[in-house]
Amino acid sequence: MQAETYDVVWLDRAQRMSLEDLTALSGVSEIEVHELVELGALAPINYNEVPWAFRADCVVTLRKASRLREDLELDAHALALALTLMEQIRSLEAELAQLRAHASVVVRF
């Protein structure tokens, strides 16, 4: 039996990443990144500067985009919409968890 090996990269949200590093780690092409930026699903840190820089957590977003595109055969517009809705859901779930935690503290007093 042969053991599989994997490359692991520790991502820090505060870490800045070049477009080249982002595409290398995510497996998404520069053209696809540009499309997702144009459609508002991905935001570079410095939109008005060249070259763009991204937060490291964009790797996770792009890997998710890649899986969605392959699994559901989505075009760029549908992919951008799906990513935007998934981010809104994640944000609402985090807010709900925070409100529930706050409510449980208030009820105990």
pLDDT in tens, 17-41: 999 999 998 888 999 999 999 999 9
Rounded to whole angstroms, how far apart are CA atoms 109 and 70? Answer: 51
Looking at residue 79, its pLDDT comes to: 92
- Rounded to whole angstroms, the Cα distance separating 78 from 105 reads 41
- Calpha distance 106→109 (Å, rounded): 6
Contact status, residue 43 vs residue 37, Cβ threshold 8 Å:
yes
Instruction: State yes or no: pLDDT of 84 exceeds 80.
Output: yes
Torsion sign over Cα 61, 65, 71, 74 = positive
Over range 78-88, report the average pLDDT. Answer: 93
What is the pLDDT at residue 102?
85
Residue 44 is predicted with a pLDDT of 93
The DSSP bridge partners found for residue 17 are: 54
Query: Range with the lowest mean pLDDT among 8-17, 31-40, 45-54?
Result: 8-17
Euclidean distance between CA atoms 44 and 92, whole angstroms? 23
Number of DSSP helices (H) and strands (E) in the chain, helices first: 4, 2
CATH number for the 16-108 domain, one of 3.30.479.30, 1.10.1660.10, 3.40.50.300, 3.50.50.60?
1.10.1660.10
